[in-house]
Structure 1
Amino acid sequence: MLSILISALVTAVIAGALIATNSSIGAIVTLGFFGFLATFLLIGFFVRKKSSKVQDELQNRMQAAQRRMQRKVQQFQNKPGGNVKQIQRQLEMDQRAMFKEGLEITKGLEPFRKWSPMMGRQIATMRLQFNYQLKEFETVDEILAGCGFLRGPMMMDPLAVGMRMARSYANGDIEGAKKVYKRQLKWLRGERGTLLYAVMSWIYVKTGEPDEARRVLAKAKDATGSEVFVRNWEHLSNNRVKSFSNAGFGDQWYSLQLETPPQPKQQRMRGAHGRNPRGF
């Protein structure tokens, strides 16, 4: 990374100057260290300042697209006689356009990759999420395959971890999903681990291991206090496996593509006296 190389060069210059003046080893080490740190932080400041413009643009575009889709849903719900399949297709098209636009905007961050050690991971994380929502799962699996020390998407993001677990399940690697869950849960404590608990309990239910799912839910309800986990734990404790549902987590859950979200509903029109126009 250029920031590290430049910082090292500044350190070498400082050390050389101090050696030439017969400075003590302690002074050389101390001033060299602070010279490296100051240069590295200064470069990082300017890189963040420049890259934040691209990131702000990305965030603003995503929020604007989401607001447009929300307005369409509200209009559909308030307008009788609408075609559910048609609005669903429109929303899917709008979502695809939004995610494709997001992918395109991430290209604007590429020039900063060589300056910041973490920029590459941030780009990978964003591209993971956009490609996942576009259901480009081959690309998603390629991105996840690059995970490693200081490489690939950042697994400190609960959504990225949930996606990795979901892809492990989809690829038949249940043990892989368990390993990711156990490893990342150590870092995502409390409510931050909500999505991990949700995915792991769902996987156990789908693989016919309700007792294991119940153990996960017991930890989840204590760690997060979520009513969804409480209800699911009660369902499994009373052998109501079919009643298990993570729908209460809303868009966060459905973004993993493990289940299909419910279709938007229209408001029922009533007559002047609060009765249905058909008389019932």
Structure 2
Amino acid sequence: MLTILISALAGLGLGLGLFLGDAAHWGWCVFWALLGFGACQAAAGLLLRGRVKRLMDGVQGTLAAGQKRLQARVNQWQLRPPGSLKQAQIELEREQRGFLQQALGQTEAFGPYYRWSPLLRRQVNTLRMQLHYQMKNYAEVDRLLPSCLFLDPLTAAMRLARMHVRQEEGLDRFFEKQAARLRYGQGAVLYALYAWIALQRNDIDLAHKTLIRAASKMENETIKRNLEHLANNRPRQFSNAGFGDEWYALGLEEPRVKTQRARGPGGRPF
């Protein structure tokens, strides 16, 4: 907001200066005032974007480095399996939480710039909400959601998932609003989530119609497979597991771990 105010004052000062100094006709004074406002706004915007970008790059760098360390550890365990899978999972979660908290701490540096950009606070709140969601700090997620921007399908899916868990009103209206913004090929997980929620309500017809809409707007194997299950009256076989981490990150279901049963000397399971 301050950039707009300062730019307006600069433009007004320029226009009044020219008018009172009888340096130009009043029409030209208005023109130069508007031009001064625009130039000041553009200069302030460039300066602000540069500083905000450096801060955002720092946060993204922390996240990328953390993910790289996690992947390196997973690759190492694939070559040399750990003694305890449960302990290995705990270590991964601890390390992930560490760099997510570090990234959260870095977002505090955006604070001084909130007064200069009306949307920056909401953009940073959206980032903070996503980080808390990954750490399953749902109390913080719910606190931040009202002040977030939902500009991508996954963030909208996070909001929709929390509305379902909290049994909030307006869930259907929110989905329709977000679906209307999607371009062709976008939002598979959002449609899949809404269909899943419909099934939790025992509304198979709504789930089926939702997947028909999705299939007409994108090519996605999980959408097609679930649509086939519902079309053939097999709602129990509905599964969004095909989306992988994108689905499980919503915290509504846990991945199914397949355990291999022991086999006897003849190769038959006990």
Q: Mark yes or no: TM-score above 0.5.
A: yes
Q: Distance in 1 between the 2:30 and 2:189 partners?
A: 46
Number of equivalent positions: 264
Partner residue in 1 for 2:177: 183
Q: Distance in 1 between the 2:116 and 2:218 partners?
A: 38
Q: Secondary structure at the match of 1:191?
A: coil
Q: Distance in 2 between the 1:164 and 1:187 partners?
A: 15
Q: Secondary structure at the match of 2:167?
A: coil
Q: Is 1:11 aligned with 2:11?
A: yes
Q: Alpha carbon RMSD of aligned pairs, Å? A: 2.3
Q: Distance in 2 between the 1:73 and 1:236 partners?
A: 37
Change (3 A) 1:57 1:81: closer
Contact 2:154 2:187 in 1 (8 A): no
Contact 2:126 2:145 in 1 (8 A): no
Q: Deviations over 1:38-88 (max 9, x none)?
A: 111111111111121111111111011111111222222333464221121
Q: Is 1:171 aligned with 2:172?
A: no
Gap regions ≥5 residues in structure 2: none
**1:222 equivalent among 188, 204, 216:** 216
Q: Secondary structure at the match of 1:190?
A: coil
Q: CA offset at residue 254 of structure 1?
A: 1.5
TM-score by length of 2: 0.90
Q: Is 1:158 aligned with 2:153?
A: yes
Contact 1:201 1:213 in 2 (8 A): yes
Q: Secondary structure at the match of 1:108?
A: helix
Change (3 A) 1:263 1:33: farther
Q: CA offset at residue 228 of structure 1?
A: 1.0
The one-letter code matched in structure 2 to 1:57 is G
Q: Distance in 1 between the 2:56 and 2:252 partners?
A: 28
Q: Secondary structure at the match of 2:56?
A: helix
Q: CA offset at residue 263 of structure 1?
A: 4.9
Q: Distance in 1 between the 2:63 and 2:184 partners?
A: 28
Q: Deviations over 1:132-180 (max 9, x none)?
A: 22222222212123xxxxxx2111122221111111000012x422111
Partner residue in 2 for 1:29: 30
Q: Distance in 2 between the 1:164 and 1:190 partners?
A: 21
Q: Secondary structure at the match of 1:223?
A: coil
Q: Is 1:43 aligned with 2:44?
A: yes
What does residue range 1-280 of structure 1 map to in structure 2 within 5 Å? 1-20=1-20, 21=22, 23-80=24-81, 82-145=83-146, 152-173=147-168, 175-263=169-257, 280=267
Instruction: Point out the more displaced range, 200-209 or 23-32.
Output: 23-32
Contact 1:77 1:265 in 2 (8 A): no
Instruction: Point out the more displaced range, 41-50 or 13-22.
Output: 13-22
Q: Distance in 1 between the 2:49 and 2:126 partners?
A: 17
Q: Distance in 2 between the 1:262 and 1:90 partners?
A: 20
Gap regions ≥5 residues in structure 1: 146-151, 267-275
Contact 1:2 1:115 in 2 (8 A): yes
Partner residue in 2 for 1:149: none
